[in-house]
Amino acid sequence: MALREQARVTDVARVGDEVRVTFDGSDGSESLLFSHVVLATGHDWPEDPDHDPGVFVSPWTGLMEAALPATSVGILGTSLSGIDAAMAVACQHGRFDEDAGGALTFHPDPDASDLRLTLMSRQGLLPEADFWCPIPYRPLQHMSEAALDSEVAQGSDGLLDRLWARFVAEMAAADPAYTEAIGLAHLTPEGFAEAYFAPRLAADPFDWAKSNLAQVERNTAARRVVEWRYAILRMHEPMETMVAHLTETDRERFDALKRVFIDNYAAVPPQSIHRLLALHRAGVLDIFALGEAYNLERKAGETEVQAESGERRRFAIFIDARGQRSLGIADLPFPSLRAALGTEEGPVPMNDHFAIAGQQGRLFLPAAPYLLSRLPFVQGITASHDLGEAVAEAILAGEP
């Protein structure tokens, strides 16, 4: 095995039965031929060559190393990355203390009285706290692999409606009381998403976070499973494998349900909620719900954010923490590969083993950002393991 460190791959091109990889290394540009190439390029955070000290294009583009003043900081994104960004700034200007009962208090430094963090998103919702549940997962009754295979075999037309019927049946079996209370049998996927988020949208986000955290901690202590949450969690991965089979219209309809699944699996550790609540109690953290049509403008060294409601807020520092965006052909940093695909439009076409179409099974792209359009929940090290396994199987099988 050979390892090339500090080498940036600049191009990949098929040459007959092989693939040429060109890279910039310490000795300049070089290229090598391989029988197979796996482009496991991972997360893609935007670069920021003309860095404006008041704007961070992602939490992973200089923020962690930057010394920031205690000032007004706007963070776009209320999920994991937004929370990481808020903590990175808060911890530069104060400390969290835990009392004997486990309650956290944030103490800002004496010179940090101007520190104000604002987390922003369209809905202005915080993630909920991780709930207690059995792992490995209990098997599903209505969404087994065999059941889903048979749904796919019946074709893409009407597939989402058939999957929705299975979702409803699974929820009814797991948690009849919740299913009845929310009227699931009479809801569409879109209607369910609305009913799911409605109570949270009607509540103050910090009040909701406090009571959700208390509920999670009570349930964890009692080893009590909230069955409807657990059923949604167990269904998200089987449902994800169905997305590639949905018609264009159904993929759009699936977006509402996708938000529910993401909200469910992207719950955060209870300690993160404790920290957010402590920052809020200290008067340092606030949430700003932007609505669908909001506007961002950089003005006189500040970022002005105007929400759909018309309310405007200005921030000396602005951090874009919206997480990984979906990438497609136009984003591939390899010109020969882009040219070989014949278009700059749309997602990179791939088979189930992540072999890029038209490359004779020689080139694989198991990189999450390029897979999001077909695997909307792909993330994390366990997913990396599954992607690697699928690629290895295809290479060993030698099938183009």
Ligand X SMILES: Cc1cc2nc3c(=O)[nH]c(=O)nc-3n(C[C@H](O)[C@H](O)[C@H](O)COP(=O)(O)OP(=O)(O)OC[C@H]3O[C@@H](n4cnc5c(N)ncnc54)[C@H](O)[C@@H]3O)c2cc1C
- Taking the least distance from each CB to ligand X, the nearer of 61 and 384 is 384
Residues between 324 and 353 that touch ligand X (CB under 6 A)? 333
Minimum separation from the CB atom of position 149 to ligand X (A): 27
Nearer to ligand X, 286 or 386 (CB): 386
Residue 117 has phi, psi (to 5 degrees) of: -105, 135
Q: What's CA 48's distance to the chain center, in Å?
A: 21
Tokens of 248: 């264009």
Type of residue numbered 231? A
Minimum Å gap between C-beta 238 and ligand X is 19
Distance CA 21, CA 60 (A): 27
The residues in 349-388 that bind ligand X, with binding defined as CB under 6 A, are 379-381, 384
Query: Encoding tokens for residue 182?
Result: 């929310």
Closest-approach residue to ligand X (CB): 42
Of 31, 36, 40, 219, which lies in the binding site for ligand X, with binding defined by CB under 6 A?
40
d(CA 262, CA 78): 13
Least distance (Å) between residue 114 CB and ligand X = 27
CB neighbours (10 Å) of residue 259? 15
Residue with tokens 């992602």: 58
| Residue closer to ligand X, measured from CB, 189 or 369 | 369
Least distance from C-beta 26 to ligand X, angstroms?
A: 13
Rounded to a whole number of angstroms, the minimum distance from the CB of residue 144 to ligand X is: 26
In the complex, what is the shortest distance from the CB of residue 368 to ligand X, in angstroms, rounded to a whole number? 6
Structure tokens at 117: 């963090």
**Cβ atoms within 10 A of the Cβ of 65, count?**
6
Task: Convert residues 7-36 into a mask of x (bound to ligand X by CB under 6 A) and - (unbound).
Answer: -xx---------------------------
Residue tagged 């190393």 (tokens):
65
d(CA 338, CA 60) in angstroms, rounded, equals: 27
Binding site for ligand X (CB under 6 A): 8-9, 40-43, 333, 379-381, 384
